[in-house]
């Protein structure tokens, strides 16, 4: 019960519920005002205008949010006017339907915010069929009132923003810490769950993409909101939390170990890894609790459990050495020591988050220049030629827009020919669930049907209990607020609540509520079936056919990330900014690759061409980015020797191999710049350096010098990590080249 109450509190204090309340205020206030002024007949148009323009109210830059809602208002007014004037003339109406659907849905090429504006336009098109206005005067009044309703909602949103200016940012930070905590717990299982690694890795792909999406939105929100007078203390605090979340995420990535080597070293001695695994789990749970406290504003939990778990992880290194004995235990001990160092740094970052949340006065200050911060922003371009560039069957959005236009016209004609009572309910279902990918359309269709059936069952129960229109009105508003709050998190529940809202709203028009419920369920099922079938047979888009460009970008960014790490090794202070930008681009590229792979898994089995090969490529690229992050982390947190000639030779070899992979996939001319013999020699020299230090340490032990000084330990750690990681990266790059060659060949054969 305590956990349920906590989750309820988190929901009621969330920005998602806050946006639901905004919509509730936006639609109920016009009803109340118009009723008391005696102009109630104008209220529905105002409410429709407010409702249609609410989707664009999402976290991000305030300027872009306002612009999106204003464009949405203009678009919904124009679309509504066109449909209302075209309704008496069937041929004209069909042309208008097809044209509006195609053009408006194509606006989605401008990213997530563009897709929400597009949705508002499509929603306006469908709802226009429910509006009964015949004369030009009535139509123009309707459109004008809808515009006023949209402006009213913008004012409501602005007022809520002023009342709680940091609510969206806090929610984003909370969601990010929650996802990172879950990610850390998931990664801990990889240490010992050998048989489950493939499945666990697939789960990490999903969470990684979600984390990167949150980070991108936070960059837009926090780095564009700059005042001439500088940041406030609260803004400074939020930015510190954001930067800590990035550091924690990279540290988790850096602990992606060579699990084949781990299995070889520890074999049946996995019990020595359990302390490290438990520490990750405890730190993950602590991050999740901190994420909740950003919303709850409760007391920060004690850190003793974290420190005890860290101490046990350190003790496991000594226990391993005592059990296995040196020199046999050296390699395993270095693995445990490197892992412990990462976890110690993770704990330091978590403690930094704790200090910021506790408002500790001596937390570090930021000195991020405007020109530096701008390099971290990936802002959506809104040039007109982006629209024209997508006017091709090669474009996924073009195919989707054309498919949606054909489907909408077909569904309307179906309803017209068979005299279906509320054809626009079928159209509404189609525009809500139909997506560019078949897998997502099928998933949303299933959730929509199940949600509608649940909502209908609940509505039937309420109708049987009461016939009170006041109860219907209250439940309609409450259901709509909750639906809008849940629509991004739980579409099935949102669909159920939307169904309840629609049924009770229509109960005012049609007293026979059971008839309304019946038509609602039937029309939803018809719309869902049409959407799924159309996505499968009309200009279908299969993810396997669209992976090439995403993969090319991942290869290019991994190469840049590798070279940025090489520069960081030469001079950490000089190249810190360029490294951070390269890291951000690489993480986004791998996130997009992970998301593409996830969409691939949702396609029909028969369309998942070269699935195992693609999975191998995704996993190899993911592992490479983690290995690079691991090298960077060691460079930043340890006093290192200058980068050796052998290190630079291997970096060149690995980057060239990645370039060769890129060129083979892109059918470009290939130039081999580093011979295999040179790279092998450099690899042997790095391993030889570690072996020399290891032999020296063995000799010291034989002479009775068992104490290990910090300088010698760091020297051994650096030599071991660099030698093995460079060997690992070289092997990964070669495997990537082989896999991309096979993938490129399969693409050529399919043409």
For the chain, residues with pLDDT lower than 50 are 227-229, 361-377, 674
> Which ranges of 107-196 would DSSP assign to H, the alpha helix?
111-127, 136-163, 167-189
Dist. CA 322–CA 340, nearest whole Å: 17
pLDDT at 11: 86
Burial class (CB in 10 A: 0-12, 13-18, 19+), 578: middle
Rounded Cα–Cα distance for residues 639 and 92 (Å): 74
Domains 166-364 and 546-750 share a fold: yes
pLDDT, position 228: 39
Rounded Cα–Cα distance for residues 733 and 282 (Å)? 34
- Dihedral (C-alpha) 593, 595, 597, 602: value to the nearest 10 degrees? -160
Is the CB of residue 639 less than 8 Å from the CB of residue 714? Answer: yes
- The highest-level CATH class for domain 166-364 is mainly alpha
Which sequence spans correspond to the domains of the chain?
A: 1-165, 166-364, 411-540, 546-750
Give which of 579, 600, 599, 590 is closest to 208, Cα–Cα: 590
Name the region of 60 (left: φ>0; alpha: ψ -120 to 50; beta: rest). Answer: left
Residues 146 and 52: beta-carbon distance below 8 Å = yes
- Amino acid 472: pLDDT: 84
CA distances from 164 to 83, 171, 232, 347, 482 (A): 38, 12, 15, 31, 20
Cis bond before residue 558 (omega within 30° of 0): no
Residue 435 DSSP one-character state = -
b/e sequence 323-356, b meaning 16+ C-beta within 10 Å: ebeeeebbbbbbbbbbbbbbbebbbebbebbbbb
Write the class of the CATH domain 546-750.
Answer: mainly alpha
Are residues 306 and 282 in contact, defined by beta-carbon separation less than 8 angstroms? yes
Q: What is the pLDDT of residues 494-544, one digit of tens each?
A: 989 988 888 887 776 666 777 778 888 899 999 999 999 999 999 998 888
Say how far apart CA 248 and CA 241 lie, in whole Å. Answer: 10
327 near 694, Cβ under 8 Å? yes
What are the tokens at 666? 């892109």
Q: What pTM does this model have?
A: 0.84
pLDDT value at position 707? 61
Distance CA(170)–CA(157), nearest Å, equals 17
Instruction: List all residues 6 or more positions away from 170 whose beta carbon is below 8 Å from its beta carbon.
Output: 15, 238, 294, 295
User: What is residue 148's predicted lDDT score, i.e. its pLDDT?
Assistant: 96
- Between vectors from CA 675 to CA 684 and to CA 722, what angle results, nearest 5°? 35
């Amino acid at each position: 019960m305590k956990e349920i109450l906590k989750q309820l509190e988190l929901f009621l204090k969330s920005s998602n519920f806050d946006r639901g309340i905004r919509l509730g205020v936006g639609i109920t206030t016009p009803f109340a005002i118009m009723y008391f002024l005696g102009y109630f007949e104008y209220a529905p148009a105002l409410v429709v205008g407010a409702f249609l323009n609410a989707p664009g109210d999402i976290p991000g830059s305030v300027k872009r949010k306002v612009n999106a809602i204003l464009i949405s208002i203009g678009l919904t007014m124009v679309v509504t006017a066109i449909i209302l004037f075209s309704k008496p003339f069937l041929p004209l109406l069909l042309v208008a339907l097809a044209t509006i659907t195609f053009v408006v849905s194509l606006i989605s090429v401008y990213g997530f915010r563009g897709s929400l504006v597009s949705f508002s336009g499509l929603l306006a098109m469908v709802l226009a069929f429910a509006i009964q206005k015949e004369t030009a005067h009535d139509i123009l009044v309707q459109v004008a009132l809808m515009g006023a309703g949209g402006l009213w909602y913008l004012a409501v949103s602005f007022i809520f923003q002023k009342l709680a200016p940091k609510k969206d940012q806090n929610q984003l930070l909370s969601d990010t810490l929650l996802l990172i905590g879950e990610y850390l717990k998931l990664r801990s299982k990889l240490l010992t769950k050998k048989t489950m690694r493939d499945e666990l890795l697939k789960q990490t792909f999903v969470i990684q993409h979600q984390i990167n999406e949150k980070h991108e939105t936070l960059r837009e929100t926090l780095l564009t909101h700059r005042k001439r007078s500088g940041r406030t203390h609260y803004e400074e605090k939020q930015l510190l939390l954001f930067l800590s979340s990035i550091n924690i995420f990279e540290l988790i990535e850096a602990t992606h170990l060579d699990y084949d080597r781990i299995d070889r070293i520890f074999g049946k001695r996995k019990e020595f890894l359990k302390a490290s695994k438990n520490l990750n789990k405890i730190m993950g749970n602590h991050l999740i609790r901190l994420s909740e406290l950003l919303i709850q504003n409760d007391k920060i939990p004690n850190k003793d459990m974290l420190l005890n778990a860290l101490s046990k992880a350190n003790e496991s290194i000594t226990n391993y050495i005592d059990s296995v004995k040196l020199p046999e235990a050296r390699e395993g001990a270095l693995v445990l020591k490197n892992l412990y160092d990462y976890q110690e740094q993770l704990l330091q970052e978590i403690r930094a988050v704790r200090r910021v949340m506790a408002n500790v006065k001596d937390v570090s200050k930021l000195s991020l220049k405007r020109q530096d911060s701008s390099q971290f922003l990936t802002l959506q371009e809104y040039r007109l030629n982006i629209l024209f560039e997508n006017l091709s069957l090669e474009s996924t959005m073009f195919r989707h827009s054309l498919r949606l236009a054909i489907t909408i016209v077909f569904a309307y004609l179906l309803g017209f020919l068979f005299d279906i009572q509320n054809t626009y309910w079928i159209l509404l279902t189609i525009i809500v669930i139909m997506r560019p990918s078949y897998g997502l359309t099928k998933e949303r269709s299933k959730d929509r049907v199940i949600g509608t059936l649940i909502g209908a069952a609940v509505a039937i129960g309420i109708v049987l209990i009461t016939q009170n229109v006041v109860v219907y009105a209250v439940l309609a508003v409450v259901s709509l607020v909750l639906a809008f709050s849940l629509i991004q998190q739980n579409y099935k529940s949102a669909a159920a609540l939307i169904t309840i809202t629609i049924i009770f709203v229509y109960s005012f028009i049609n007293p026979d509520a059971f008839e309304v419920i019946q038509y609602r369920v039937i029309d939803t099922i018809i719309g869902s079936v049409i959407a799924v079938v159309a996505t499968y047979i009309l200009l279908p888009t299969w993810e396997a056919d669209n992976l090439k460009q995403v993969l090319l970008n991942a290869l290019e960014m991994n190469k840049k990330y590798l070279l940025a790490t090489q520069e960081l090794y030469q001079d950490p202070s000089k190249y810190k900014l360029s490294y951070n930008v390269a890291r951000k681009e690489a993480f986004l590229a791998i996130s997009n690759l992970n998301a593409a792979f996830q969409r691939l898994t949702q396609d029909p089995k028969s369309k998942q061409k070269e699935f195992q090969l693609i999975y191998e490529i995704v996993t190899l690229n993911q592992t490479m980015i983690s290995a690079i992050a691991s090298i960077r982390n060691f460079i930043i947190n340890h006093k290192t020797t200058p980068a050796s000639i052998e290190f630079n030779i291997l970096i060149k070899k690995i980057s060239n191999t990645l370039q060769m992979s890129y060129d083979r996939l892109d059918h470009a001319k290939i130039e081999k710049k580093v011979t295999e013999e040179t790279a092998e020699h450099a690899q042997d020299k790095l391993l030889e350096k570690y072996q020399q230090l290891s032999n020296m340490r063995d000799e010291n032990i034989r002479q009775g010098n068992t104490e290990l000084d910090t300088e010698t330990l760091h020297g051994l750690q650096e030599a071991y990590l660099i030698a093995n990681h460079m060997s690992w990266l070289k092997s990964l790059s070669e495997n990537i080249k082989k896999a991309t060659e096979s993938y490129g060949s399969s693409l050529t054969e399919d043409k």
